[in-house]
Amino acid sequence: MNLSFFPLAVSVAQTLLGLAMLLGMLRLLRGPRAQDRVLALDTLYVNAMLLVLTVGIRSGDSLYFEVALIIGMLGFVSTAALARFLLRGEVIE
Amino acid sequence: MSWAAGTLILLGALLAFSGSLGLARLKTFYERVHPPTMGTTLGTGLILLGSMLHFSALEARPVLHEILIGVFMTLSTPVTYLLLVRAALHRDRAKGRDPLHGAPEGDQGER
Amino acid sequence: MKRWLPYPTLSLALLAMWLLLNESAAPAQLLLGTMLALAGGRLLAQLQPPLGRARRRAWAAAVLGWLVLADIVRSNLAVARIAFHPGSRGRVAGFLAMALDVRHPGALAVLACIITATPGTSWARYDAARNVVTIHVLDLIDEQAWIRQFKERYEQRLKEIFE
């Protein structure tokens, strides 16, 4: 078994996820409309969650798993709230 | 084992990356909704599988709590995108540019 | 018995999952898991899923799950190709309308989730009066092929499961 493949693969994966976050940021800044920005924010959240997961894999610490779970949940709740805001103009009626 | 886990994680990250690439490159909002779904479905799934393999090998026992994130993403992904598309349609209509107007029949009436 | 454990298999599975995820069978975890299992069973009872023909339904659900997984993998690759070459091959994106046969709200909800979770297709609008759904497709070359796929692969099984 070639043991050096795994760290390399994780590093490349982290680079890809970082680039993905940059692309999401680009869409977030460029818009043009609010729904594009919300979609970009959701993509950013998902990519950040995956990045935290790979950080956890790299360090071998399963604490990062909980961090990823929380990021994912916050992402879902905030995107749902923002989408609702776009739909109604208010979050809680 | 580490080969399999590494490949899975790499493929998952590649899918998430192409999802964001599509998000940045496609021309209209309704087209841009599709690519990020790659990162949330297969991308997340592959990375979680890789993580499960890796931690199971590392701790020499089955580590399965990644399933939690998988279950959660499966439930939340469709809801997020359904809400967003609904909001976008609503906003387009409010601006007088209904993308469904003149589109195939069956576009009248909102539930 | 019926009141506290309307779905014993589900409750048992929930308890097993809880213990598995916590990786312990300590009394406190057993207590928490049992509470979760009881609450889950009651929650499902409130949703009132259809009963009977359980085995055939389970088989149809398993087949559906497998088909959805295969389609998600396939469309991931297709959408990845589009993301890297967005302008090529005269690709058209657009909305398509499809008349549905199923009316059961559960079946519709599952169908909406399947179509939205698959990259390349997303559920845009549902007209309850005419039972027609509008779907946005990223690569709308052959509209009939998409409709055939939705109807034969998903709707047929959902009908077996829910109706």
Nearest by CB to residue B78, choosing from C96, C112, C124, is: C112
- Chain C residues within 8 A of B22 when measuring between CB atoms: 79-80, 82-83, 86
Query: What CA–CA distances, in Å, run from B26 to B36, B90, C85, C89?
Result: 11, 21, 10, 15
| Average pLDDT value over all residues in chain C | 81
> With 90 as the cut, is the pLDDT of residue A16 above it?
yes
Please tell me the distance in Å from A10's CA to the nearest CA on chain B.
6
Q: Does the beta-carbon distance from B23 to A56 stay under 8 Å?
A: no
Is B103 part of a structural domain of the chain? Answer: no
Residues of A in contact with B29 (CB under 8 A): 33, 35-36, 39
Which sequence spans correspond to the domains of chain C?
8-47, 54-162
- Quote the pLDDT of residue A93: 52
ipTM of the prediction: 0.83
* pLDDT value, residue A90: 60
- Nearest residue in A to B76, CA atom: A76
Cβ distance of B36 and A42 shorter than 8 Å: yes
Please state whether beta strands C121-127 and C132-137 pair in parallel, antiparallel, or not at all (unpaired). antiparallel
Instruction: Provide the pLDDT for residue B12.
Output: 92
CA A74/CA A20 separation, integer angstroms: 19
Q: How is C106-134 classified by DSSP, letter by letter? A: HHHHHHHHHHHHSTTEEEEEEETTTTEEE
Nearest residue on chain A to B21, alpha-carbon basis: A23
**Does the pLDDT at position A2 exceed 60?**
no
Q: How far apart are CA A19 and CA A10, in angstroms?
A: 14
Residues from chain C contacting residue B97 (CB–CB below 8 Å): none
| Phi, psi torsion values for C7, nearest 5 degrees | -130, 85
Residue of B1, B3, B7, B9 to mutate for A, most A C-beta atoms under 10 A? B9
CA A59 distance to own-chain centroid = 19
In the structure encoding, which two tokens stand for residue A71, read together?
């990021």
Res B108: pLDDT:
37
d(CA A32, CA C58): 46
Average pLDDT of the segment spanning C73-85: 86
How far apart CA C82 and CA B25 sit, in angstroms, is 10
pLDDT tens digits, one per residue of A35-85: 899 999 999 999 999 999 999 888 888 788 889 889 989 999 999 888 888
Inter-axis angle of helices C54-84 and B2-25, nearest 10: 60
What is the mean pLDDT of each successive set of 10 residues along chain B, which is 111 residues long? 85 92 86 88 90 85 80 87 87 75 43 32
The region of weakest confidence among B87-91, C29-33, C69-73, C84-88 is: C84-88
Do A and C make contact via 3 or more CB pairs under 8 A? The reply is: no
What domain range includes position B59?
A: 2-94
Under 8 Å between Cβ of B47 and B88: no
In a domain, B18, yes or no: yes
DSSP 8-state symbol, C137: E
B50-53 — which CB contacts under 8 Å span 24+ positions? B50/A57, B50/B4, B50/B5, B50/B6, B50/B7, B50/B8, B50/B9, B50/B12, B51/A53, B51/A56, B51/A57, B51/A65, B51/B5, B51/B9, B53/B1, B53/B4, B53/B5, B53/B8
Taking the CA of residue B5 and the nearest CA in chain A, the distance in Å comes to 8
Cα–Cα distance for residue pair B7/C73, rounded to 1 Å: 16
Q: What is the count of structural domains for chain B?
A: 1
**What is the rounded CA–CA span in Å between residue B14 and residue C81?**
12
Tell me which chain B residue has its CA closest to the CA of residue C132. Answer: B106
Would you say residue A92 has pLDDT above 60?
no
Q: Given pLDDT bands bounded at 50, 70 and 90, which one contains residue A25?
A: very high
Indicate the residue of A72, A83, A86 with minimum beta-carbon distance to B69.
A72
Domain locations in chain A as residue ranges: 25-88
Q: Which residue has the higher pLDDT, C10 or B40?
A: B40
Tokens of B36: 């990020």
* B91 neighbourhood in chain A, CB within 8 Å: 33-35, 86
For residue A3, name the pLDDT band (cuts at 50, 70, 90): low
Report d(CA A1, CA C10) in Å as an integer: 42
Percent of chain C with pLDDT over 90: 1
pLDDT digits (tens, 9 = 90+) for C105-161: 888 888 888 888 888 888 888 888 888 888 888 888 788 888 888 888 888 888 887
Q: Which helix (H) or strand (E) holds C135?
A: strand C132-137
